[in-house]
Amino acid sequence: MNSLYNISIQLYVIAIRFAALFNAKAKLWINGRKNIFQKIEEVTKGEQNIVWFHCASLGEFEQGKPIIEGYKQKYPSHKMLLTFFSPSGFEIRKNYEGVDWVFYLPADTKSNAKKFISIVKPIKVIFIKYEFWLNYMAELKKQNISFYSVSAIFRDGQAFFKNKWWVEQLKNVTHFFVQDKNSAELLKSIGFKNTTISGDSRFDRVLANTQNPVRIPLIEEFCKSKPTIICGSTWPKDEILLAKYIKENPQYNYIIAPHELHYISKLQKQTNALLFSKSTEQNIFTSNVLIIDSIGILSSIYQYANIAYIGGGFSAGIHNILEAATFGLPVLFGPNYKKFNEAKDLIAVGGSISIANYQELNLAIKHFNIFDRTISTDYIRNQSGATGIILESL
């Protein structure tokens, strides 16, 4: 199995190199790792007490951010190294001032893991949620460096619970901070008791967003004229339903923030929308549809809306619904949400509805025309506190 895993990593890198010939994101993945060890060694040489945080992408970063910042506040003399696997995280947060250095994570080969750890010499390592890079974990164990899996979530059916080899890999984890009781029980079923049910640190992150939200005056003015439905992180399958609804329901304002910006021109034609980058005080009301073509402001826009539709539920899975719920919005999403505890919880308390077709979308929006916003905000507050539990142990 070790050989098979290492071969799969090598094949993945080869595939990315090929894709980089015609795919911009793959090209960033490759170029971002050029001379990576030299760059890391130049800035970390001679440094001590380095703590290494790793996130797959932007979503995991937002989940880990309260832990990173809380740790820095608690241990200001420690140096902080942050790595990303994906360009989606690195390119947006490469200038993040909450840490000392931000880099791509070199591919998980045995030689890379050994070289990276010998250069950085971390005193402890924290990986966020789903990240389990096995060669890095094995090398950390070999060098007796504490490795923590934070805001982790496990489900029956994962390889960890089917194969003894995967169980052996988890023995390299010093401690698991899991999101829920089910994850802790699954780990216990294969012999792991080094767990703490800490909850999900994303709740702390989104709750912090409401304390001092970033103001966007132009969007605030846009939303004042009519009740506003915000559609966050949408994909083409979401947008087919939304475009039809928008055409038939001009009584609302709409803000659409696509997950990918490649198809904005098509979406703009479908909805007769105004691009946010082209909006001014003079033209903001020329359309009741505003497309957000800027990165990094979606979480702040939710404060102005009345209802949120979150995309991804007709694809691999829904995106972050907590950023909307923390501002008291009722949340709609597609049918693929079963892997997301927060979605199931919000449906249970009456703060969310899953829709599978246009008719259900129509009925759900009518249902949420009258909504007690405390349902969502109370849920967020009741689930917060994971950061404090994690930091106390770290």
Pair (139, 158) in one structural domain: yes
Q: Do the beta carbons of residue 219 and residue 255 sit within 8 Å? A: yes
Residue with tokens 């009301």: 285
**Roughly how many angstroms between the first and final C-alpha of the chain, as a whole number?**
32
Pair (96, 41) in one structural domain: yes
Pair (99, 169) in one structural domain: yes
- Kindly state the DSSP code that residue 295 receives in the 8-state scheme: S
Pair (197, 253) in one structural domain: no
Q: Give the residue from 121, 119, 61 showing the smallest Cα distance to 95.
A: 61
Spatial separation of the C-alpha atoms in residues 271 and 258, rounded to whole Å: 13
Report pTM.
0.86
Spatial separation of the C-alpha atoms in residues 248 and 236, rounded to whole Å: 19
Pair (334, 320) in one structural domain: yes
pLDDT at 102: 98
What does residue 149 show for φ and ψ, rounded to 5 degrees?
Answer: -100, 120
Pair (194, 278) in one structural domain: no
pLDDT in tens, the chain (394 residues): 889 999 999 999 999 999 999 999 999 999 999 999 999 999 999 999 999 999 999 889 999 999 999 999 999 999 999 999 999 899 989 999 999 999 999 999 999 999 999 999 999 999 998 889 999 999 999 999 999 999 999 988 888 888 899 999 999 999 999 999 999 999 999 999 999 999 999 999 999 989 888 999 999 999 999 999 999 999 999 999 999 999 999 999 999 999 888 778 889 999 999 999 999 999 999 999 999 998 889 999 999 999 999 999 999 899 999 999 999 999 999 999 998 999 999 999 999 999 999 999 999 999 999 999 999 999 999 999 999 999 998 8
Pair (171, 228) in one structural domain: no
pLDDT at 296: 81
pLDDT at 236: 93
Domain total in the chain: 2
Pair (174, 237) in one structural domain: no
Bridge pairing between strands 289-291 and 195-197: unpaired
Range of the domain at 46: 2-208+385-393
Q: Give the residue from 292, 300, 276, 371 showing the smallest Cα distance to 332.
A: 371
Pair (130, 257) in one structural domain: no
Q: Which residues touch 83 (CB under 8 Å, ≥6 apart)?
A: 52, 53, 54, 55, 102, 103, 104, 105
Pair (95, 114) in one structural domain: yes
User: Position 304: which residue type?
Assistant: Y
3-state DSSP assignment of residue 165: helix
CATH of the domain at 328: 3.40.50.2000
Pair (232, 358) in one structural domain: yes
Spatial separation of the C-alpha atoms in residues 343 and 325, rounded to whole Å: 10
Pair (183, 316) in one structural domain: no
Q: Do the beta carbons of residue 268 and residue 291 sit within 8 Å? A: yes
Q: Do the beta carbons of residue 318 and residue 312 sit within 8 Å? A: yes
